[in-house]
Chain A
């Protein structure tokens, strides 16, 4: 059984702070890792993908992957109230496989 674990939160941070979201996965053959953002009542939106160990930065977002530890994280710098949402971690074994989602972490950024 493939599992993706996330702390459900809620994670609450003040505006301007760094929000750190964590995810662990059970399947060692996982190759592709994604972070989605889902606002209440809306569908998920892809914000980051990462495939290699290390950091990948895109604007205020940084994804970090450590395959040895089976751990992937998302850092959001200069957090804004508009970042308040549920963040879903997802992994798959490669391009031809379905995604396995975590249950999501609810992030609240307080003004």
Chain B
């Protein structure tokens, strides 16, 4: 259980184009999903928290107009990188909050999307 998928796994695009990344919880409903970015050999950086049916909460320094997040259902959140530039090239990872034993919950990560902007 607690499987999270991401699509696409890898994308190469030209500067100025927009890229949409999908995150799905396959076997559980996730009211909360998270989007992270990770540069090579660096730690995870939380970009935003996505709650189903409401606006995403962005971390300080993350441009909400550049990184559009939509959480339209309990199993799907999307991240759109608008007008991508080479500095947006990174590994984008989503996670979904799911229930562990008892009342506890944990975050389960998708496999990530490697974005390269030329």
Contacts and interface: CB of A to CB of B under 8 A. Distances in A.
B111 interface: yes
Interface string B36-75: 0000000110100100000000000000000000000000
Interface string A66-94: 00000000000000000000001010000
A43 B111 contact: yes
A49 B112 contact: no
Size range of the chain B interface in the assembly: 20 to 34
Size range of the chain A interface in the assembly: 20 to 34
Tell me if B's interface is mostly helix, strand, loop or mixed: strand
B86 interface: no
Given A42-B111, A43-B111, A49-B100, A34 B106 contact: yes
26 contacts: A32-B104, A32-B106, A34-B107, A41-B91, A42-B111, A42-B112, A43-B109, A43-B110, A44-B44, A45-B109, A46-B2, A46-B107, A49-B100, A49-B104, A51-B104, A88-B43, A90-B107, A95-B103, A95-B104, A98-B34, A98-B46, A98-B49, A101-B43, A102-B43, A103-B43, A104-B43
Interface of B: 2, 34, 43-44, 46, 49, 91, 93, 97, 100, 103-112
Given A44-B109, A88-B43, A104-B43, 20 more contacts: A34-B106, A34-B107, A42-B111, A43-B93, A43-B109, A43-B112, A44-B93, A45-B109, A46-B106, A46-B107, A46-B108, A49-B100, A88-B44, A90-B107, A95-B103, A95-B105, A98-B46, A99-B46, A99-B107, A101-B44
